[in-house]
Amino acid sequence: MGQTIKHKCNSCDFEFIEEDKEFYFNEELTKLTEETPLFNTFQKIAKSQLSGNIYLTYCDNCNNFIKTYSVTKNETSLDDEEIKELIIESGASEQITNEPVEKLVLIRNDDRLIKCPKCENEILKTLTHGSGCPKCENGKLLANMFTIND
């Protein structure tokens, strides 16, 4: 089962779906897959040598969306820097409200706070209920949680 949060602004039409997503590499480390963890995903993640969680947030200092790849399992011979490079190159490039999304890679780091890769501002790794709206000045994002079944 995957958890999904819909963030909706209480003042403008901005809304954005945050999916609970995990990533894993194939055996050759040539392909990164990003998936909502449904039942058959867990087997693939268990087999993979390199996997972790994905978080999405927004930096209101430099107005960029930040996608964080948090590596939780590394059984490869790659070091941290090589893993960061591999993930940045392989990860899906996304756009939210036509803005590109900055990527950040964390290795075995469970902190709730991250440093924005653009401006080094400290921000929460995930959007929270009541975060400022990225699109308008006054709005606040209200979070609604729902669950996707297999």
Q: Which residues bind Zn ion (CB under 5 A)?
A: 9, 11-12, 14, 59, 61-62, 116, 118-119, 121, 133, 135-136, 139
Which residue number, 96 or 136, has a Cβ lying nearer to Zn ion? Answer: 136
Would you mind telling me the total number of residues written for the chain in this entry?
A: 150
Annotate 45-100 with DSSP letters as a single string.
HHH-SEEEEEEEEEETTTTEEEEEEEEEEE-SS--HHHHHHHHHHHSPP-EETTEE
Q: How far is the CB of 69 from Zn ion (least distance, A)?
A: 17
CB 139, min distance to Zn ion, A: 3
Q: How far is the CB of 55 from Zn ion (least distance, A)?
A: 15
Distance CA 149, CA 76 (A): 32
- Tokens 């011979």: give the residue: 77
Q: Are 142 and 132 in contact (CB under 8 A)?
A: no
Question: Nearest distance from residue 29's CB to Zn ion, in Å?
Answer: 30
**Residue among 25 and 65 whose Cβ is closer to Zn ion:** 65
| CB closer to Zn ion, 87 vs 116 | 116
**11 or 97: whose CB is closer to Zn ion?**
11
Element (DSSP H or E) covering residue 40? helix 39-47
